[in-house]
């Protein structure tokens, strides 16, 4: 097998694994399911990934890399800060809806004292908290956002508003939407606008 074929096979495995993890969750996913979805035999899958945990971590890295290249550079362009925030919220929420296993993976890492893959990956990525902090301070000086706004608090609030409805879907659908998945999906389509309104009301100078 050539290097190009190996790369193609690995990407095929990661895409298949992402789909199965999204549909079944980590606990409900079997390696055979991923092998079947990728169109390969189970022994070849184990050649690339010896365990479901290692494959799950690799899928996280694969998906996170794609997200990072699209989302984090938003704050490096010349758009107005509120426009940047709107683009960030829209792209991040859309990514989470398409890849709900991402927050699930992060949650699974929270109880680990060592080898926190999610934290290491984010720290070593293009995430630049200092840049976001500098932009917020600049906007405060310009008078476009409230003086009381703290960059880290703002970022955590945005992430929480986006992530929670995705993580809590198993509870929200039966409790809030009476097991109506279509109603939940419609809610998520409008969620972006709600988050933007909440965030803008929080930071804008009246």
Residue 81 scores a pLDDT above 90: yes
Residue 6 scores a pLDDT above 70: no
**Closest alpha carbon to 156 in 180, 182, 129, 135:** 129
Residue 200 scores a pLDDT above 90: yes
Q: What pLDDT is attached to residue 7? A: 65
Q: What pLDDT is attached to residue 80? A: 92
Burial label, 149 (beta-carbon count in 10 A; 0-12, 13-18, 19+): middle
Confidence of residue 37 (pLDDT cuts 50, 70, 90): very high
This model's pTM is above 0.75: yes
Residue 164 scores a pLDDT above 70: yes
Q: What domains sit in the chain, N to C, each tagged with a CATH number? A: 1-50 (1.10.10.60), 62-203 (1.10.357)
End-to-end CA distance of the chain: 63
Dihedral sign, CA of 37, 43, 46, 47? Answer: negative
């Amino acid at each position: 097998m050539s290097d190009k074929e190996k790369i193609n096979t690995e990407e095929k495995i990661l895409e298949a694994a992402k789909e199965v993890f999204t549909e079944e969750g980590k606990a409900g996913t079997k390696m055979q399911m991923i092998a079947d979805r990728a169109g390969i035999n189970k022994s070849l899958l184990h050649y690339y990934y010896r365990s479901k945990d290692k494959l799950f971590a690799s899928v996280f890295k694969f998906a996170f890399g794609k997200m990072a290249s699209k989302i984090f550079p938003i704050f490096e362009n010349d758009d107005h800060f509120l426009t940047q925030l709107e683009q960030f919220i829209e792209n991040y929420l859309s990514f989470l809806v398409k890849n709900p296993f991402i927050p699930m993976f992060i949650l699974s890492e929270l109880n680990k004292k060592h080898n926190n893959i999610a934290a290491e990956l984010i720290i070593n990525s293009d995430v630049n908290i200092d840049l976001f902090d500098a932009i917020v301070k600049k906007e405060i000086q310009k008078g476009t956002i409230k003086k009381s706004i703290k960059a880290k608090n703002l970022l955590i609030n945005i992430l929480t508003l986006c992530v929670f409805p995705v993580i809590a879907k198993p509870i929200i659908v039966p409790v809030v939407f009476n097991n109506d998945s279509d109603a939940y999906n419609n809610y998520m389509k409008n969620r972006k606008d709600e988050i933007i309104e909440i965030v803008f009301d929080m930071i804008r100078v009246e």
